Amino acid sequence: MYKDLIKNKQIYSLDIPRTIVPIPTDDNYSNGIIERYFTQKVNDTNGFVYEINLDTYNELKLNPYWIIQNIKWRLSGPLDSVYDSSGKIIDKGVRNSNTASIADGQKVIKNLNLYLINILQFYK
């Protein structure tokens, strides 16, 4: 009877994903941005945040046991906001951009800011 119930069911992994530290490429630095990927157990929103690679991110998209989030992380540019002569903002700056990315990511993974404590990580 049980085998009949699970016959066509998808089996999802509960294995802890392999955590990575991304290594920005020269192309990333030329573009000024790197895409970063994160996951956390869905039933442990105060638990550990894992930084993962794109392949793992794609594998976990349909896995109901994990929540995932990606953010854009600035690597280069002015550190702080740049304004033109009329006071309009030209560039938010790396600090503000990465802080905003963390805030957006926290809509899904609420304690992402505890993992991303250095907003200038990888900055050149």
Query: What pLDDT, in 10s, does the model give residues 9-50?
Result: 677 777 899 999 999 999 999 999 999 999 999 999 999 999
Measured distance CA(74)–CA(12) in Å, rounded: 33
Beta-bridged to residue 72, according to DSSP, are: 35
Q: Residue 27: what pLDDT?
A: 97
Predicted local distance difference test score (pLDDT) of residue 53 = 98
Residue 112 — very low, low, confident or very high, per pLDDT cuts 50/70/90?
Answer: very high
Where exactly are the structural domains of the chain?
A: 20-115
Contact call for residues 61 and 51 (beta carbons, < 8 A): no
Per-residue confidence at 3, pLDDT binned at 50, 70, 90? Answer: low
Q: Would you give the distance in Å from CA 48 to the centre of its chain?
A: 13
Which are the contacts of 102, defined by CB distance < 8 A and separation ≥ 6? 71, 112, 113, 116, 119
Give the per-residue pLDDT at 106: 97
Per DSSP, the three-state class of 14 is coil
* Per-residue pLDDT tens over the stretch 50-96: 999 999 999 999 999 999 999 999 999 999 999 999 999 999 999 99
